[in-house]
Amino acid sequence: MKRYYFILIGLLISGITSAQSVDDVLRYSRQNYSGTARSTAMGGAFGALGGDFSSLSINPAGIAVYRTSEFTFTPSVEYTKSTNSGYSENKTSFAIGNVGFVSTYIPRLAPEKGWQNINFGIGYNRVANFNRQGFLFNLDSPGSLLDHWADMANGTAPDDLYVFEDKLAYDNYLINPDDNLFYQSVLFDGDRMDQQKYIDEKGYIGEYLLSFGANYSHKLYIGATLGIQDVYYKSTTTYMESSVPGNITSLQDFIFREYLRTSGVGVNFKLGIIYKPTQNLRLGLALHTPTYYSLDDRYDTFVDSQFDTANANGFPEDGEAYHGFNSEAVSRVSYKLQTTARAIFSGAYTFGKKGVISADLELVDYSSAEFDDNSNGDYTNTNQEISNSYQSTANIRVGGEYRVAPNFSLRAGYAHIGNPYNTQINESYNTYSGGFGFKQNNFFFDMAYQYKQYDENFVLYPTSPDNVTLNNKNHQVRMTFGFKF
């Protein structure tokens, strides 16, 4: 009842030979607004503050707060440790979190009231990182993926089996039919299997921005952003079952490998305002359209099985070689996905030049996302599954900054990302962050650290009676180099 459960069930529901599923919606809808180190350190709470390039992805009105032109560059490093029953997998990745340029135009004879400056921005913010490795295992299990494949195949002629799963199992002698097309696995009653699954995920979503904003009387700031998102995702999952000593079956082990690679582009549009009712108080509102993706998938599955060699009496002899079988299925498909719209309400209060506190409330309805039926096949059942699986939720981000000295500031932040599921699954999580900023003349340097911990509950295959928990700990460091001119 987690990620890969949804991938498999989604395939069966939709009846298409590809990997589009309800899980894709969550992968491409959950985004992290922390392009720069300053934004990361303050929990991404920049909807009412502005003046930071990350705000162009949150509330475009933030570009209108700039009073000077600016260039920023943010390299980052992430380290993720995923642990199951004491066994852990670690993954380190390096990325460009942000590259941005803002140009400010201030009229030479700007009036005391009215339009004060017009700003343009262009650049890049990374809004999602998919890099992770995990290892799951379940020893001495009475169940097997072979039982699930046999149930899938029942009543279907061998040539008509689902080519990405039960057809491969049939080709590898793992399930066999009788005359009535009732399939059984090669396991006998009482046979037990050791099960393990290795997950390797890579990829990102980067958003290229083109923004415009204007400042009216230093009271009202408006802005708009056109976002073009670049998507790359690659996942390889390797599932293996091994026969335990004492089993009757001649099956020694089998491997089921899934490979998914997704690439494409998406486009969205954002509008925002920031209003200052008093000199110290700022209120913000931003509306984001859904992101409209055009995506291409390559989906491969592979099955390999190993059996004992039998002697004249029908039993394997020590030291004899295995009989091996393997087969593979490949699919390529293009499709369109519409993620969810969102609204962000923000507030910030400044304490003169000494500090600021800021908070954002983001409302997202994941159940409104959908695949385009006109792009490839009929997604009616999958879209209904999206509506049934997800819900509206709220994300809360809070941050603060304190200026210790004229050129040095300390920052801290917290974010709570709400649970997108309306089932028993809970994928909410918290992030904690901190950092500092230093500036000298026209140069500034910011550093941030962010920590996130979350658990994921998996079943190793649909209908498995056993749940496995994967604990993830993510550490992220970002450094922003900036120049004002």
Identify the pLDDT of residue 376: 60
Identify the pLDDT of residue 194: 94
Q: How is the chain split into domains, by residue range?
A: 3-144+187-292+318-362+369-395+454-484
3-144+187-292+318-362+369-395+454-484 CATH pick, 2.40.160, 3.30.1360, 1.50.10, 1.10.15: 2.40.160
What's the one-letter identity of residue 461? Y
E-assigned strand segments in 7-159: 70-84, 87-105, 115-129, 132-141
Count of CB atoms situated within 10 Å of the CB of 109: 4
Identify the pLDDT of residue 112: 76
End-to-end CA distance of the chain: 53
- pLDDT tens for the chain, 485 residues long, are 344 444 334 333 333 334 577 888 889 998 887 789 999 999 999 999 999 999 999 999 999 999 999 999 999 999 988 887 767 778 888 989 999 999 999 887 767 788 899 999 999 999 898 988 888 888 898 889 999 999 999 999 999 999 999 999 999 999 999 999 999 999 999 999 999 999 899 999 999 999 999 999 999 999 999 999 999 999 999 999 999 999 999 899 999 999 999 999 999 999 999 999 999 999 999 999 999 999 999 999 999 999 986 544 544 555 455 567 888 888 898 999 999 999 999 999 999 889 999 999 999 999 999 998 665 667 888 889 899 989 999 999 999 999 999 999 999 999 999 999 988 888 899 999 999 999 999 999 999 999 998 887 777 888 777 677 788 899 999 999 999 99
Burial 133-170 (b: 16+ CB within 10 A, else e): bbbbbbeebebbbbbbbbebbeebeeeebbbbbbbbbb
E-assigned strand segments in 142-280: 175-177, 183-185, 193-216, 220-243, 251-275
Instruction: Report residue 35 as tokens.
Output: 């392009």
Q: In 249-336, which residue ranges form alpha helices assigned H by DSSP?
A: none
Identify the pLDDT of residue 277: 96
DSSP-derived 3-state class of residue 228: strand
Q: Which of 204, 344, 207, 340 has the alpha carbon at shortest distance from 267?
A: 207
